[in-house]
């Protein structure tokens, strides 16, 4: 596998970049419902993305692809941060928790 590691890492990065708009559409912005496959099962895009991220992280940490990380590491970090966005549900949940906290604490006590 070692002779092909740079190619596999390039393909992995390409998949992460190409899947990002779909992930954003269906899981982050929730503008559409997740499509169902021909087998009537939900498309498990987060699992696929998670597997690719696990693989690339393991290779990067192992030091087996130092040249690739030197040349493509910035692109990998950029796409990883793109996947780390909060979903609409996360934002609503965080805001509701923050509102509950602000309502339960007397702000004068904090001064």
Q: How many CA atoms lie within 13 A of 54 on its CB side?
A: 6
pLDDT of residue 20 exceeding 80, the answer is yes
CA separation for the pair 111, 106 (Å, rounded): 10
> Residue 98's pLDDT is what?
52
**0.85 surpassed by pTM:** no
Q: Is the pLDDT of residue 35 over 50?
A: yes
**Phi, psi of 32, rounded to the nearest 5 degrees:** -135, 155
Decide if pLDDT at 108 tops 50.
no
Complete DSSP assignment for 26-81: IIIS--SPPPB-TTS-B--HHHHHHHHHHHHHHHHHHTTTHHHHHHHHHHHHHHHH
Per-residue pLDDT reduced to its tens digit, 21-30: 988 888 887 7
For CA atoms 40, 16, 62, 81, the dihedral sign is negative
What pLDDT was estimated at residue 10? 96
Q: How does pLDDT run across 44-59, given as a tens digit for each residue? A: 888 899 999 999 999 9
Report, in angstroms and rounded to the nearest whole number, the Rg of the chain calculated over CA atoms. 19
SS3 106: coil
With 50 as the cut, is the pLDDT of residue 110 above it?
no
């Amino acid at each position: 596998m070692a002779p092909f590691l740079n190619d596999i890492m390039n393909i992995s990065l390409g998949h992460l970049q190409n899947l990002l708009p779909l992930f954003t559409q269906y899981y982050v912005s929730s503008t559409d419902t997740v499509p169902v496959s021909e087998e009537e099962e939900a498309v498990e895009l987060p699992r696929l993305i998670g597997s690719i991220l696990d693989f690339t992280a393991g290779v990067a940490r192992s030091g087996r692809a130092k040249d690739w990380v030197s040349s493509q590491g910035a692109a990998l970090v950029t796409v990883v941060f793109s996947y780390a966005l909060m979903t609409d549900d996360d934002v609503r949940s965080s805001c509701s928790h923050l509102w509950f906290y602000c309502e339960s604490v007397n702000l004068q006590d904090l001064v």
